Structure 1
């Protein structure tokens, strides 16, 4: 596990300060994705791997002042950047590993994960841990502000069927860890997979 943490920290720590400026136009797509979660005022939601907290204001807007918004990330520099950007006003920032969340079972209504899945060390176990903290019928949103093909092109790769986000692969992964894939969108300007926590 330490090696997994080192990889994540090595990747994100030097990128934290400039992260938001690299993707300045993503705000509306985050808000639109959050709007698909079906959250209501007073609900409790986790932004897993929150990074600089770009989803937190949108999450706060839908759950309102009585709701609970948590942002969890492994990288201190990302959480510091989130605080500098004023996003701690929208949610509680917590340094923690998605693989071991400091939360009670079934305590959340939803989990939002932007760009999360490619950084999970143990996909099955980690998505099962996300399922543990969500009530039955709650929602998991796996989001990216660009689709699979555009993301692969950005990284100089071609898209293959064994991509983690390919629908059959993602459906099977989630089914094995307590989720049912409910909707799947993969367009040039958005990737959004919505899953429901099974009883």
Structure 2
């Protein structure tokens, strides 16, 4: 395991047990994001960096009982928290790294990724790996329940020009990774960038 992975795992392991209780008001934002993805019954969705699985119930509602839902995370403690919350009933939980997905190419109709971009050690390669497992024309949703400015304020920092989630940075990053950004929303109540897997 690389130092990058160790750092990410340590960060989230230390926070897994009380993650949901620290952000109790985020549920509606997850539900709204999942509902707005244009998913259909029977679709196959990967929740990349699923954490405690907060997106799994609304994603399950969107794809229905015939849909396939996989929640993937690098941190065992986060997946254990997802199981304790009963979210493993919504889909399959998988311990894996987004840099080397143990999944077949073209398997999914969509990828949902909450708060993932800031933790990717190799953004172009990692986003390209997500593109690999999505069919051409499939969707990527990069989500956060609050916008960049609100998140920076919560963390006691300022937004910097090199922020990967800035629209001017994210569009080209996605383009280099096999995606075309189709919409971008960054407001206090949510961050949601949508992209389509290029043919």
* Alignment TM class, shorter chain as reference: over 0.9
Structure 2 counterpart of 1:150: 150
For 1:2-52, what per-residue CA distance to the aligned partner results, in whole angstroms no more than 9, with x for missing partners? 111110111010110100000011111001001121110000000000000
Structure 1 counterpart of 2:22: 22
Whether 2:33 is the aligned partner of 1:33: answer yes
SS at match of 2:128: helix
Mapped to 2, the partners of 1:132 and 1:57 lie a distance apart of 25
Mapped to 2, the partners of 1:180 and 1:172 lie a distance apart of 9
User: What is the correspondence of 1:49-198 to structure 2 with a 5 Å cutoff?
Assistant: 49-198=49-198
Q: Which runs of 5+ in 2 are unaligned?
A: none
How far 1:160 sits from its partner (Å)? 2.3
How far 1:190 sits from its partner (Å)? 0.4
How far 1:159 sits from its partner (Å)? 1.6
TM-score normalized with structure 1 length: 0.98
CA RMSD in angstroms, aligned pairs only: 0.7
TM-score normalized with structure 2 length: 0.98
Q: How many pairs align? A: 199
